[in-house]
């Protein structure tokens, strides 16, 4: 296992839109890229049993999550001719309306960027040991489950 | 023989701790029995087990210094 | 034809990353959204017969393109439960490495946002009367054709 | 009877103009013949035709004031 190339993907709190635009801007020197695909997860103000979700509090098993993300990254790079992939996931409290997940893939052509992005999103949802606690307006909570 | 057990998500909440140590458990099946004795509040919770960060869905022998993580259903993203 | 709801999608020159982050930020009050999907087209520095493409110069039949985009928008909103859709396409000269297309769809759930975004991108490529002239480093050019 | 003809992309370049007017052309087939006479440089160019912004792939009658656009293969995005 190439431990040294395991990258951090976690950010405390929400992912700010300016982080996303900075990330996009950094690719203007990579002139072999023709297509970027971006997925953003945003915390929904769901209503559950009559109560609004006001935030989600994310926790992880960080060491295992980063190793798993490294595996996902390697598998997706092996499958698709990607130029780059960047991932950020929030930890801690993210308010409704804020961004909690950023998946960004780039390639020469659109099909590759789009398919790879979707595949990474699905793998993150299914395989990363991350848990979201939905916090209601009255400070009660429930544990989220991915569909 | 010390086995470190890590709790995450709802299980950490139910156990009221993130971590505990068990002694003299030879495998994950034995650990599960001891867990349910020590934490009857886990009865309704589903989880999968990772031994030293590797997921296992069958009985797995445990050695001194092993870290066992109890992982409720994931809900990231 | 609901002429009054035909929206402009064209921007002179490249689409700046800050335009994209501003667009994302505006959605934080739409707390029924759980997923955003974004596609960005970036001008590639292709090498054709030994010469670098340094820019693409885009022209359109604007009146027809805006009506066609309106049709595409209506069809995609009819097919998918989208919360929003935003489109920008460059006109004029866009240098290699810069963004020339921005497609942004948002929905409660990820599948809808992702599928709708891809469908809009494909329709834009196939159906919008827009032409790209690839400009080489020596000021010669050739007319691009979408695959 | 005036028919406005709009040129786009490579055709505008080949015609060295964005727009011209034809008179007394009754349909798009007749227009195509006149176009190829007036602009022999279009011989190798493929295009589709829109009459008043509606694409047509068959012969279409033209009326006074019609706008015909010659559209080379699209390459937006």
What is the reported pTM?
0.96
Return the pLDDT at C6: 87
pLDDT in tens, C117-140: 999 999 999 999 999 999 999 999
Return the pLDDT at A11: 98
| Chain A, nearest residue to C116 by Cα | A114
Q: Does C128 touch chain D (CB under 8 A)?
A: yes
> What is the rounded distance in angstroms from the CA atom of residue A59 to the CA atom of residue A126?
15
Q: Does A126 touch chain B (CB under 8 A)?
A: yes
Give B37's contacts (C-beta < 8 A, 6+ positions apart): none
- CB-nearest to C31 from A33, A44, A99 is A44
Please state the rounded mean pLDDT for residues B48-77: 96
Q: Is C56 helix (H, G, I), strand (E, B) or coil?
A: strand
pLDDT in tens, D14-53: 999 999 999 989 999 999 999 999 999 999 999 999 999 9
- Biggest CA-to-CA distance, chain A: 51
Q: Do C146 and D74 touch (CB under 8 A)?
A: yes
Return the pLDDT at C1: 44
> What is the rounded distance in angstroms from the CA atom of residue A118 to the CA atom of residue C110?
9
Please state the rounded mean pLDDT for residues C96-109: 98
Q: Does C147 have pLDDT greater than 80?
A: no
Contact yes or no for C41/C100 (Cβ under 8 A):
yes
- Biggest CA-to-CA distance, chain D: 38
pLDDT in tens, C49-102: 999 999 999 999 999 999 999 999 999 999 999 999 999 999 999 999 999 999
pLDDT cut 90: percent of chain A above it: 93
Return the pLDDT at B62: 97
| Superfamily of domain B2-71 in the CATH hierarchy | Beta-grasp domain (3.10.20.30)
Measured in angstroms, the CA of B59 and the nearest CA of chain A are apart by 20
Domains of chain A: 32-143 (3.90.1170.40)
- Across chain A, the runs of DSSP E, i.e. the strands, are 10-12, 35-42, 47-48, 51-60, 82-95, 99-107, 130-136, 141-143
pLDDT in tens, A58-100: 999 999 999 999 999 999 999 999 999 999 999 999 999 999 9
Nearest in space to D16 (alpha carbons), one of D49, D43, D45, D39: D39
């Amino acid at each position: 296992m190439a431990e040294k190339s395991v990258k951090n993907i976690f950010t405390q709190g929400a992912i700010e839109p300016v982080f996303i635009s900075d990330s996009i801007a950094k690719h203007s020197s990579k002139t072999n890229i023709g297509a970027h695909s971006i997925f953003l997860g945003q915390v929904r103000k769901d209503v559950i049993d009559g109560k609004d979700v006001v935030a989600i509090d994310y926790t992880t098993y960080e060491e295992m999550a980063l190793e798993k993300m490294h595996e996902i990254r390697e598998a997706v790079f092996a499958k698709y001719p990607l130029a780059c992939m960047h991932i950020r996931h929030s930890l801690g409290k993210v308010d409704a309306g804020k961004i909690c997940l950023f998946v960004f893939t780039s390639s020469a052509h659109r099909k590759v960027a789009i398919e790879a992005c979707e595949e990474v999103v699905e793998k993150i949802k299914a395989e990363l040991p991350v848990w979201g606690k939905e916090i209601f307006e009255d400070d009660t909570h429930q544990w989220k489950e991915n569909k | 023989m010390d086995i470190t057990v890590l709790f995450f998500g709802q299980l950490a909440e139910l156990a009221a701790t993130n971590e505990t140590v068990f002694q003299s458990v030879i495998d994950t099946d034995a650990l599960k029995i001891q867990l349910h004795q020590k934490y009857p509040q886990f009865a309704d919770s589903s989880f999968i087990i990772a031994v030293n960060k590797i997921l296992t869905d069958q009985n797995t022998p445990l050695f001194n210094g092993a870290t066992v993580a109890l992982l409720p259903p994931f809900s990231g993203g």
